[in-house]
Amino acid sequence: MSTRLSGLVKIIQVPLKYNNFSIIGIIPIFGSSQWGLVPKVILLVTFNLYEPMMEHFERFGLLINNQVVRTPVAIASMAGYVDAEYVRAREQHIGLAFIGGYSIDEPAMKASKQMVLAGRKEFIHEDMIAELHRQVACMTGSDVVLGINMRGCSPAAFARVAEELGDSIIYEIDAHCRQLPMIEAGSGEYYLNNPTQLFEIVKTLKRAGVTVSVKIRAGVSSDDRALSRALWKAGADILHVDLMDFGYHKIKQIRNSCPVLLIANNSLNTFDRVKDMFAHGADLVSLGRKSDERTLSGIDAAITRYTDEQGWYNSPKQLCRGGDIRALTFCCMPVKNCPLIPTLETLGIKRDEYIRLKEESVRGTPLEGGKNTCFGSLGWCCKNSSPCMFRDITIQQEGISSKEYMRLKRQLSEKIIHHIYYERTEDDAC
């Protein structure tokens, strides 16, 4: 865009797309005239943060702690290694990062020092609050959503950090560390065996008005489903799950137990593994040991490509192919003997309620139409990976692309999940 001012000065606006700045710069270019050297051209340079972030939001639809997440790939904390500097060196390829873990009270710090003596790397600081302020400041200007992984032994310790650092970061409670000194101090994995104390910390942090993530290790609690559900009920916003060797079955179990944002973790170093996690309920994946630039950029690029083709980056498999309950969006009318019926029974949803829910959810949307499909509406139609001429002709007639069809199915799935967890009075989800 260019404008001429009083016939002398030309203003040219140059929007530069660069993620990390949102500023307007004025650069005058001087030229000679009868009055000597005068500004002839003024370049208005806008470094535009807004536009690219909207692009990411449109692609992945992920908002965490009120910030757009540019890609569903996170860095998992590794004590002594992952700090703000580590994250900034990789920030072009990730959307979220948990720095730490940081020991935030005396017993946890004592445990950290013992662990250092035993040969582990830890973040040791005499004034941890000052260090955390430094870390947060070091992330200024980055579009990576920041979480801090913390080890502490009382709700008061977490409350104090929340009071100091405020709500711009995610507070991740480390209920994962299995090092003996940390467990004996009453932190890390200790909480998985003493969940009531963990719930108290979650509730305390929620009272402080901050976003809470809980890092857990699968298979330590006798019932990961019940634990996840109870953590959600206590107020946790995010569950960050080290799956150990359990694989995507565990992520599906947890997805089917609560509606929190779910981060899958452990050896998710290839796009195939990542895709399996997404197809069974993960919202993001995180990498620790292999969080090098090459691995992160490869996974980020593959997810972006896949999403730009398919429209819904973490679309579930169909229910009859082992998908989680988000797959109800692809299910037909309950007319045959298939996994839909037992799933509805487990959820405590009557057939009529299910039919009404889907019909009402697609009303007024392009999914409402489809009289030539099996059940008279695209709302009952299958995933785009199942070949079907009738569906494809219908979506063509509706003027929507296959990618848009999947986006609409995602919206339908969100309405179904919302109904299951928030609109029903009985506490009867599976």
Interaction between residue 358 and ligand SF4 (CB under 6 A)? no
Interface mask toward ligand SF4 for 221-260; x: CB under 6 A: ----------------------------------------
**Distance (Å, rounded) from C-alpha 159 to C-alpha 326?**
35
Q: How far is the CB of 316 from ligand SF4 (least distance, A)?
A: 11
CA distance 154 to 151: 10
Q: Which does 331 bind (CB under 5 to 8 A by kind): ligand FMN, ligand SF4, none?
A: ligand SF4
Contact range with ligand SF4 by CB under 6 A, out of 28-36, 99-107, 257-265, 333-341: 333-341
| Helix H or strand E segment including 211 | strand 211-217
Our CB check for ligand SF4 shows the closer of 93 and 391 to be 391
Q: Could you say which of ligand SF4, ligand FMN, none residue 289 binds, taking C-beta under 5 to 8 angstroms by partner kind?
A: ligand FMN
Among 177, 263, 331, 416, binds ligand SF4 (CB under 6 A): 331
Which is nearer to ligand FMN, 46 or 149 (by Cβ)? 149
**Smaller CB distance to ligand FMN: residue 242 or 398?**
242
In the complex, minimum distance from the CB of residue 82 to ligand FMN, in angstroms, rounded to a whole number: 8
CB atoms within 10 A of CB 230: 19
Is 374 among the residues that bind ligand SF4 (CB under 6 A)?
A: yes
CB of 382 to ligand SF4, least distance (A): 4
Q: Which is nearer to ligand SF4, 3 or 372 (CB)?
A: 372
Q: Contact region for ligand SF4 (CB under 6 A) — 20-28, 164-172, 223-231, 377-385?
A: 377-385
- For the chain, the three-class secondary structure string (H helix, E strand, C coil) is CEEEECCCEEEEEEEECCCCCCEEEEEEEEEEECCEEEEEEEEEEEECCHHHHHHHHHHHCCEECCEECCCCEEECCCCCCCCHHHHHCCHHHCCEEEEEEEECCHHHHHHHHHHHHCCCCCCCCCCHHHHHHHHHHHCCCCCCEEEEEEECCCHHHHHHHHHHHHHHCEEEEEECCCCHHHHHHCCCCHHHHCHHHHHHHHHHHHHCCCEEEEEEECCCCCCHHHHHHHHHHHCCCEEEEECCCCCHHHHHHHHCCCCCEEEEECCCCCHHHHHHHHHCCCCEEEECCCCCHHHHHHHHHHHHHHHHHHCCCCCCCCHHHCCCHHHHHHCCCCCCCCCHHHHHHHHCCCHHHHHHHHHHHHCCCCCCCCCCCCCCCHHHCCCCCCCCHHHHHHHHHCCCCHHHHHHHHHHHHHHHHHHHHHCCCCCCCC
Pick between residue 126 and residue 245 the one whose CB is nearest to ligand FMN.
245
- If one asks whether residue 340 binds ligand SF4 (CB under 6 A), the answer comes out as yes
What residue ranges bind ligand FMN (CB under 6 A)? 76-79, 100-101, 149, 174, 176-177, 215, 242, 265-267, 287-290
CA distance 375 to 178: 52
Choose the one of ligand FMN, ligand SF4, none that binds residue 143, judging by a C-beta under 5 to 8 angstroms depending on kind: none
Q: Does 183 bind ligand SF4 (CB under 6 A)?
A: no
- Selection from ligand SF4, ligand FMN, none that 243 binds (CB < 5 to 8 A by kind) is none
For the segment 388-417, give every residue that binds ligand SF4 (CB under 6 A). Answer: 388, 390-391
**Which one, 149 or 221, has the nearer CB to ligand FMN?**
149
Q: What six digits make up the tokens of 267? A: 């050896």
Regarding 347 and contact with ligand SF4 (CB under 6 A), the answer is no
Residue type, 357: L
Smallest distance from ligand SF4 to CB 405, Å:
10
340 binds, among ligand FMN, ligand SF4, none (CB under 5 to 8 A by kind): ligand SF4
Residue 97 parent element (H or E) = strand 96-103
Residue 338 binding result from ligand FMN, ligand SF4, none, given CB thresholds of 5 to 8 Å by partner type: ligand SF4
Quick one: what does residue 317 bind among ligand SF4, ligand FMN, none, with the CB cut-off 5 to 8 Å set by partner type?
Answer: none
- Considering only residues 75, 303, 319, 347, which one is a binding residue for ligand SF4 as defined by CB under 6 A? 319
**Burial grade of 330 (CB within 10 A; 0-12, 13-18, 19 or more):** buried
User: Minimum Å distance from CB 354 to ligand SF4?
Assistant: 10
Residues binding ligand SF4 (CB under 6 A): 318-320, 330-332, 338-340, 373-374, 380-382, 388, 390-391
